[in-house]
A and B are shown apart, each in its own frame.
Chain A
Amino acid sequence: MSELENLMRDVARTVQTDARRRQLLPEIQARLAALDDKRRPARAVWGWSMAGAMACCAAGIAFYVMQVQPVSFAVDGVSSAGTTGAVGQKLAAPEASALSLRFSDGSQVTLPPRAQAHVDDVDNKGATVAVDDGTVEVSVVHRAKTRWQVRAGRYQIHVTGTRFAAGWDAREQTLTVTMREGSVIVTGPGLKQGTPLTSGQRLRVNAAASEPSAAIDDADAPELAAPTPAAADAVEPAAVEAEPAVVVTETPTPAREERRVGSIRTRRAAPIKLAQLDDDWRAFEARHQFKEAFAAALNAGWDNYCARLGAEDLIKLGNVARYSRDAGHAESAYQAARRRSSTADQPVFFLGRVAFDLRKDYVAAGNWFDSYLKRFPHGPLAQEAAGLLLDSRLKAGDNVGARDAAGSYLRAFPHGPLASKARATVGQ
């Protein structure tokens, strides 16, 4: 392989990893759905007149150019499915069911039973949601100029694109922010210069005291009461003079690493765990953590994935199973990929690899590689398939088949890495 081909492989891996890291699929789905909803009424009036349509186009262009339209939101509840929400309107989830606020930029805020909140402000870049009481789940879709805030008491959570839970106990005056994905910055009393939080961390602030206290720990650590100034004194008495009191709560884990964020001592978030990624095997696969990816895909429903994913994802899913040495699941994913795309060459090749490497069924492996070479004689894996066909025939004890495979190999790849082996086989 030439240096430029190597370089292009690196470029491909980098740009595709970047795109995948940004998790575009949910955003694109939400935007397509929003677009569809906006277009429906336009279709209904299409036949009225050309002039009307032109006016709509002009208005649309003006809208996009000026970008002044604020995001809007709908409220989904038991008795209010899809009603348009209003800024300032107090929203309280009922005793036994949740309330969802769905914003036109694809973001969503969910109020669990008994939680209270209201939308403080909206503009063309996002919204400000105020949590009055309880813990709300927030999922913000990232855009180039997203400006989202969640307010809880005197605290502000500045959001770009992320998922987290924000809790405000009005009676106890405590704030809890639990990060699921992405990062936020929290500002307010006791949080000097803003406190950044990243995936897997949880911030708890007790704002009731004259000197508010804050603590950051792992999001999956057991729930504890918000720290009190007294507890802070016990842990770090020197910190309680000019600065707000600070306390660190930790669960015992090996190799802890501490750092300081403003006046708050924090602990680096533990490695991301399965539950925090919503069983998204892709995230693990992108990091080459194949066993974790395999476990996540099994957990989320392997058969569903095989029924729904496209050929490229199915091949990745099959690879994840193959690297985890699970032949059955690998085969099911590759077979699904074959059904999805008859022109995809990789599933055929990898089915041969499963038979060869995992099942040690060299007859079946040979048949797969033979099938690959017949269907994709100039495919990108043809040389490897020809070599593995030769190996499969030899291991299966099929001397006649091995000589045929060796002859074919030498004709197609006279200078290939197995050329000498092929010559030896032909000469037998």
Chain B
Amino acid sequence: MSVAMALPREMRPGAHSVPAGAVVYNDDAELVAALHRGDRAARTVLVQRYEPLVERLVAGALGIDSEISDVIQDVFVGVFEGIRSLKDASALRSWIATLAVFTARGKIRRRRRWRWIRFLAPEEVPEVPVTGPQGETHEAVRATYRVLDTLPDDERMAFSLRFISEMQLTEVAAACRVSLATVKRRLARAERRFVDAAKDHPALRERLQNGGRWGVEES
């Protein structure tokens, strides 16, 4: 079966710049209203406007990963499917952030289940080949996500949102749909677990042995 594509011009690949006279939505209220009307141009604007946010959250949660674009796509599919349930346009940003967090966490959980099914330890799972940075930084990044793989999902998400995606505590709480106190507890536990596990990774141990609040003490 063949599918004839009918991409609107503004959604074709590479269509970054906007022609003069294009539809403009000055704020999220206008944008959400247009989305409720089913305006396709509004969908394009929403993706352009919020893709960096979603990318930052998803990339922070998953690291260098060949499936990031799939996860981001899933987030926006969820946004478009659920937009009618969004009544308060001012909550659009935090709502999208929540969807991104839950979608990324779902991805992490599915992977964990697959590992369990295959009886493989995380370090035995073959890595998806992706081109990325090389050298010490790359080693540190890989080690960081290996350590994060060992954390419980909720703690991992709180940790990556706070320290990698650099969200504020209140934003993390809102995105995870938990109280500020719960986020603080999760972060405290995640920090302890991370520092403990980091001792087993030379690339992290070297970076952290200078001390400080989270510094790894040399044994």
> Which residues on A are within 8 Å of B, measured CB to CB?
2-8, 10-12, 14-20, 22, 24-35, 37-38, 69, 72-74, 82-84, 102-104, 106-108, 139, 141, 144, 163, 278-280, 300-301, 304-305, 307-313, 339-343, 378-380
Contact at B140–A10, with CB atoms within 8 Å?
yes
Contact at B141–A30, with CB atoms within 8 Å?
no
Partner of A4, one of B27, B47, B80, B208: B208
B6 within 8 A of A: yes
Pick from B28, B67, B68, B164 the residue with the most CB of A within 10 Å: B164
Q: Mark B22-49, 1 if CB is under 8 A from A, else 0.
A: 1010111000000000000001110111
Q: A interface, by DSSP: helix, strand, loop or mixed?
A: helix
With contact pairs A27-B69, A102-B5, A104-B5 given, residues A301 and B51 touching in the complex (Cβ less than 8 Å): no
Q: Determine, out of B54-62, B102-110, B119-127, the stretch whose residues face the partner at the interface.
A: B54-62
Taken together as a complex, chains A and B put the C-alpha atoms of A34 and B160 apart, in Å, by 32
> Which residues on B are within 8 Å of A, measured CB to CB?
1-8, 11-20, 22, 24, 26-28, 43-45, 47-53, 55-56, 58-60, 62-64, 66-69, 72-73, 76-77, 80, 90, 93, 128, 130, 132-133, 137-138, 140-141, 144, 163-166, 168, 191, 194-195, 204, 207-215
Partner of B48, one of A108, A144, A309, A311: A309
Taken together as a complex, chains A and B put the C-alpha atoms of A33 and B43 apart, in Å, by 10
Name the residue on A nearest B159 (C-beta): A8
Name the residue on A nearest B76 (C-beta): A32
Partner of A84, one of B2, B7, B58: B2
Q: Which residues of A contact B16 (CB under 8 A)?
A: 25-26, 278-280, 300
Shortest Cβ distance from B37 into chain A, in angstroms? Answer: 16
Taken together as a complex, chains A and B put the C-alpha atoms of A31 and B13 apart, in Å, by 10
Q: Which residues of A contact B128 (CB under 8 A)?
A: 144
With contact pairs A3-B215, A307-B18 given, residues A108 and B13 touching in the complex (Cβ less than 8 Å): yes
Contact at A4–B59, with CB atoms within 8 Å?
no
Taken together as a complex, chains A and B put the C-alpha atoms of A5 and B164 apart, in Å, by 9
Shortest Cβ distance from A138 into chain B, in angstroms? Answer: 11
Known pairs A24-B55, A74-B4; list 13 more (Cβ under 8 Å): A2-B215, A6-B207, A7-B204, A8-B163, A10-B141, A26-B13, A29-B13, A29-B44, A84-B4, A104-B2, A308-B22, A310-B50, A310-B53
With contact pairs A2-B215, A32-B11 given, residues A25 and B48 touching in the complex (Cβ less than 8 Å): yes
Shortest Cβ distance from A346 into chain B, in angstroms? Answer: 11
Name the residue on A nearest B45 (C-beta): A308
Q: Which residues of A contact B90 (CB under 8 A)?
A: 342
A-B contact pairs, 28 of them (CB 8 A): A5-B214, A7-B207, A10-B141, A11-B63, A11-B144, A11-B164, A14-B132, A14-B137, A15-B164, A17-B133, A18-B130, A24-B68, A30-B12, A32-B73, A34-B3, A34-B7, A72-B5, A73-B5, A84-B4, A102-B5, A104-B5, A106-B13, A108-B13, A141-B13, A144-B66, A304-B20, A307-B18, A379-B168
Contact at A343–B212, with CB atoms within 8 Å?
no
Contact at B5–A27, with CB atoms within 8 Å?
no
Q: Which residues of A contact B191 (CB under 8 A)?
A: 4
Contact at B4–A38, with CB atoms within 8 Å?
no
Partner of B140, one of A11, A22, A141, A339: A11
Shortest Cβ distance from A172 into chain B, in angstroms? Answer: 30
With contact pairs A12-B60, A15-B60, A307-B18 given, residues A22 and B69 touching in the complex (Cβ less than 8 Å): yes
Shortest Cβ distance from A338 into chain B, in angstroms? Answer: 11
With contact pairs A5-B163, A102-B7, A309-B48 given, residues A304 and B2 touching in the complex (Cβ less than 8 Å): no
Taken together as a complex, chains A and B put the C-alpha atoms of A82 and B15 apart, in Å, by 19
Contact at A104–B43, with CB atoms within 8 Å?
no
With contact pairs A14-B141, A16-B56, A69-B1 given, residues A301 and B18 touching in the complex (Cβ less than 8 Å): yes
Taken together as a complex, chains A and B put the C-alpha atoms of A413 and B110 apart, in Å, by 44
Contact at B55–A19, with CB atoms within 8 Å?
yes
Shortest Cβ distance from A244 into chain B, in angstroms? Answer: 31
With contact pairs A73-B5, A310-B48, A310-B53 given, residues A18 and B133 touching in the complex (Cβ less than 8 Å): yes
With contact pairs A4-B214, A4-B215 given, residues A28 and B140 touching in the complex (Cβ less than 8 Å): no
Q: Which residues of B contact A4 (CB under 8 A)?
A: 163, 191, 194-195, 207-208, 212-215
Contact at B11–A29, with CB atoms within 8 Å?
yes
Q: Which residues of B contact A34 (CB under 8 A)?
A: 3, 5, 7
Taken together as a complex, chains A and B put the C-alpha atoms of A79 and B5 apart, in Å, by 16
Partner of A12, one of B132, B166, B210: B166
Contact at A25–B11, with CB atoms within 8 Å?
no
Pick from A17, A28, A279 the residue with the most CB of B within 10 Å: A28
Q: Which residues of A contact B51 (CB under 8 A)?
A: 24-25, 28, 310
Taken together as a complex, chains A and B put the C-alpha atoms of A312 and B165 apart, in Å, by 12
Contact at B11–A37, with CB atoms within 8 Å?
no
Contact at B213–A2, with CB atoms within 8 Å?
yes
Taken together as a complex, chains A and B put the C-alpha atoms of A51 and B140 apart, in Å, by 51
Taken together as a complex, chains A and B put the C-alpha atoms of A8 and B149 apart, in Å, by 15
With contact pairs A84-B2, A304-B17, A339-B26 given, residues A29 and B211 touching in the complex (Cβ less than 8 Å): no
Q: Which residues of B contact A27 (CB under 8 A)?
A: 13, 69
Contact at A32–B208, with CB atoms within 8 Å?
no
With contact pairs A7-B208, A102-B5, A340-B27 given, residues A32 and B52 touching in the complex (Cβ less than 8 Å): no
Taken together as a complex, chains A and B put the C-alpha atoms of A43 and B182 apart, in Å, by 41
Name the residue on B nearest A73 (C-beta): B5
Contact at B13–A139, with CB atoms within 8 Å?
yes
Contact at A304–B18, with CB atoms within 8 Å?
yes
Partner of B47, one of A32, A107, A139, A141: A32
Contact at A26–B64, with CB atoms within 8 Å?
no
Contact at A307–B24, with CB atoms within 8 Å?
yes
Contact at A309–B49, with CB atoms within 8 Å?
yes
Q: Which residues of A contact B194 (CB under 8 A)?
A: 4
Contact at A312–B26, with CB atoms within 8 Å?
no
Shortest Cβ distance from A396 into chain B, in angstroms? Answer: 30
